[in-house]
A and B are shown apart, each in its own frame.
Chain A
């Protein structure tokens, strides 16, 4: 190879490298939200959870079901103020005197995005498909399990006949799909509704584009019967790392970050000092509890697992309850981003919220706890350890989630508090606690659930009916609790159609659960989320006075969000400018390199 050839190659390489570097640099100048069409108001929400399916018959995850709330109407919705059932696709509903027939009036002003009117026929077809095709029952089958027959005598009349009374008939969280589109589907187990866009729906937004783990795009439905959303577009963008999502909010790349399930105290505190960012520290819908193994057993009476026998004594459970300082947990572990737990249902569901009476309360009282243990016959030995009936020191295995720092921190407090009582605690922190949990091989476990506006489900998981049929089976039970008195109350509330009377029964159930001492609700963690006030001027929380934004029961947050004046997140006319800049930089850099190489080669030639 001659010297000039070598120089030529070197020069080409250098020009190429410089060009690439320049392109990279210039690409860095592309405006962050160049995606929007000119002038469109775009609301961008950071999410982490993958969409499991966009088919309402299959989707189970929070993000997917939230998208369905936005794109399809349900029979009813929940009032953002107090979560009571309000009209949606149905304008009103009545039940027959025998409580077995429900008649819904379907509104006549809701139309599918392809122009056809949404009718009772669509609703009847949706429910019937779920009742007859097991694949279509994947996501919401439990809602129709008690249905005998569903018919649509007229476009505005839907009739559902039940096998037995069901109080949750105004809380059927089932997206109603357009029959004329969905009846063409062959196999509901495989149809994910994610290939052909826009997807025909009748909610406040229309799903226009989706790329797995990249984004979900929705356009405002201008014909939505309740009124069009104020933002033109709603985009869910993926941030798998929560710190990266917070960084994106700081930068203005996204308008809203919720965290999963919550921003950490450190993230929230650092965002609080930021200009143009509002941290929404809202009462959460979750409870965080310590569950006691009540002597796990199956429906057929066979015992399973190896829960500690001392825990079958109510006095021991109450003693453990009373030796937990919930105030310290709120202050030190949750750093103030939680509320002290009492009843089973968080206070945000006002009508069902229950608190123990003064005489009933198991308040923090280690001295009384020690007395209770003495009374129960678990006395301290010379080493200060309490002995079980088998003569061995009490040592409780506590199941904790290895991925949850709160579990670990509280576990250490338990070791200290119960240690003072003379009881050892072995923390069993696992990535997946399901196996020992299902097998009943634990003494206590950290437990938590999100509660729906209708409390039926979280109450149902403590009924005897939820136990596994045999030790080999898996039941729907949370913690193997089975109590006759609780079950009677549960059956009564499910058949009670009067909201006030039903709420009273639900409170009685919580009272019973509290007295049993199997579930110690320690805290209601707050929903901590943040949004940019220069992009979102106002947004409805749920409950409206002080509530959360992400994962509401209903579409209130994104439907109500109003763009801020300065928050125009559109403006992609700059793409041309950017291309110009890139070309300019490349040419300049190329020219520079060319002259530099010329100088070098002439210098070498001189040598």
Chain B
């Protein structure tokens, strides 16, 4: 033990330095700051891209908006001035950036209302739809994925992955229409159980209203879950398969634990790590990716709003929504990055 005094000396010489825990915290903060900084740069890039991208859309907003109505040239010029379209592009851009930094996304051309108001109006509806679907398809994906992996190669696994892959490749609007025909209108012996569209019948209050919204929620959620759970299932499945050769599982079995316990208490928690990233990314993506489902089911959410913005083109509205959608994905990715080292200390070192 010749090095013992040396070790002791080193330890004694460094009493003022941060302890291991503090060092980890510093490292994590540095890692976190890097990620957050990266996110901020991405957000700025989105801000710039959004502005110029939507100016490439062919079309004159004023002409499209007033199309089919008797409008004099003077009035058209007045609109241009009102919307700031008569200003040079660089001036429009600096004004847009300045306002965006203060949370002002401008006024929608077609709705004569602040873009933030329009987003705030539609966001809860989208969150209700995507939130419900998100919880369900994540749980379903993880449960079925881990089960599939545990008995991989079996009939259950093949059926599970086969079905998930099939549904994953089905266009959501097509599946939605199919569900409407079968379960909303009714076909053969199947009665029309659910509404064909919308979020509420209107005029209901209290519990009846909750029930009414739940009723309207079923088909769009089923559609979203059906097309989305496959991805989680596949990732969870392959992650668990990677873990399955692990010695620690043999040890756990040797301790006499039941197969079910080995899976749930030892294998799955480790296999969940890669799934976490996917879950966060999905959360961001789902908010932006429900345009088709919202359209088929006439759900009054952000997807429909975006579509309306594009068809004019209502520049402030599409820019605002683009910023919001991209922002959600960036924030969710950053959150995933920040959470991951907490779950797996190897990351971020």
A residues lining the B interface (CB < 8 Å):
23-25, 27-30, 32-37, 50, 52-53, 55, 58, 60, 134, 137, 141-143, 145, 189-190, 192, 209, 211-215, 217, 235, 237-241, 243-245, 247-248, 250-251, 253, 430-432, 434-436, 438, 449-450, 456-457, 460, 468-469, 473-476, 572, 575, 578-579, 582
Contacts and interface: CB of A to CB of B under 8 A. Distances in A.
Interface in B283-302: 294-298, 300
Interface of B: 57-60, 62-66, 68-73, 75-78, 82, 107, 110-113, 121-122, 173, 177, 180-181, 183-186, 192-204, 207-208, 211-212, 214-215, 218, 294-298, 300, 304-305, 307-308, 313
Nearest to B292: A241
B199 A214 contact: yes
A473 B218 CA distance: 51
Contact of A241 (B185, B197, B208, B212): B197
Contact of B200 (A33, A214, A431, A582): A214
Nearest to B67: A434
A468 B300 contact: no
A590 B112 CA distance: 51
B24 to A, nearest CB: 29
Contacts of A55: 112
A214 B200 CA distance: 7
Nearest to A32: B195
Given A189-B112, A582-B211, A434 B60 contact: yes
A24 B214 contact: yes
B73 to A, nearest CB: 6
Contacts of A244: 177, 180, 196-197, 296-298
A221 B65 CA distance: 32
A284 B233 CA distance: 52
Contacts of A434: 58-60, 63-64
Contacts of A457: 69-70
Contacts of A37: 203
Nearest to B109: A52
A572 B202 CA distance: 12
Nearest to B81: A134
Nearest to A27: B215
A251 B298 contact: no
B295 A435 contact: no
B73 A579 contact: no
A141 B121 CA distance: 30
B63 A235 contact: no
A432 B64 contact: yes
Contact of A248 (B70, B197, B199, B300): B197
22 contacts: A24-B218, A27-B211, A27-B218, A28-B194, A29-B193, A30-B211, A35-B201, A60-B66, A137-B75, A141-B71, A192-B113, A209-B203, A215-B202, A217-B202, A235-B202, A240-B294, A241-B173, A434-B60, A434-B63, A436-B58, A449-B68, A474-B73
Most chain B CB neighbours (cut-off 10 Å) among A212, A436, A473: A212
A189 B193 CA distance: 44
B347 to A, nearest CB: 28
Contacts of B204: 34-35, 575
Nearest to B173: A241
B112 A53 contact: yes
A253 B216 CA distance: 13
Contacts of B78: 134
Given A212-B300, A247-B180, A250-B185, A473 B73 contact: yes
A604 B76 CA distance: 79
A26 to B, nearest CB: 9
A578 B198 contact: no
A29 B191 CA distance: 10
A578 B193 CA distance: 13
A180 to B, nearest CB: 23
Contacts of B198: 214-215, 237-239
Given A34-B212, A241-B298, 4 more contacts: A32-B192, A60-B66, A240-B307, A243-B177
Contacts of B110: 52
Contacts of A253: 195-196
A240 B82 CA distance: 30
B151 to A, nearest CB: 19
A212 B121 contact: yes
Contacts of A52: 110-112
Contacts of A145: 72
A535 to B, nearest CB: 16
Given A142-B72, A244-B180, A434-B58, A214 B218 contact: no
A237 to B, nearest CB: 6
- Considering the complex of A and B, which 10 residue pairs feature the smallest CB-CB distances, nearest first? A28-B193, A213-B300, A35-B201, A432-B59, A27-B215, A435-B58, A248-B196, A35-B203, A142-B70, A215-B202
Contact of B296 (A241, A475, A582): A241
Contacts of A245: 196-197
A251 B59 contact: no
Contacts of A23: 214
Nearest to A23: B214
Contacts of A53: 111-112
A244 B296 CA distance: 7
A386 to B, nearest CB: 31
B203 A241 contact: no
B304 A251 contact: no
A285 to B, nearest CB: 12
Contact of B62 (A239, A240, A474, A575): A474
Given A248-B196, A450-B68, A28 B211 contact: no
B202 A251 contact: no
A524 to B, nearest CB: 17
Contacts of B69: 60, 142, 457
A157 B180 CA distance: 55
A72 B130 CA distance: 39
A557 to B, nearest CB: 21
B111 A238 contact: no
B72 A240 contact: no
A29 B198 CA distance: 17
B72 A579 contact: no
Contacts of A217: 202-203
Nearest to A473: B73
Nearest to B203: A35
A241 B295 contact: yes
Contacts of B300: 211-214, 238
B196 A239 contact: yes
Contacts of A134: 78
Contact of A578 (B65, B107, B111, B211): B211
Given A53-B111, A214-B300, A432 B195 contact: no
Contacts of A34: 201, 204, 208, 212
A247 B180 CA distance: 8
A209 B202 contact: yes
B210 to A, nearest CB: 10
Contacts of B73: 468-469, 473-476
B65 A60 contact: yes
Nearest to A450: B68
A237 B197 CA distance: 9
A192 B112 CA distance: 7
B64 A240 contact: no
B218 A28 contact: yes
Nearest to B177: A243
Contacts of B107: 190
B202 A211 contact: yes
A432 B300 CA distance: 25
B31 to A, nearest CB: 34
Contact of A251 (B71, B121, B177, B185): B185
A27 B214 contact: yes
Given A35-B202, A36-B203, A247-B181, A474 B60 contact: yes
A477 to B, nearest CB: 10
Contacts of A235: 202
A511 B207 CA distance: 64
A32 B313 CA distance: 36
B301 to A, nearest CB: 8
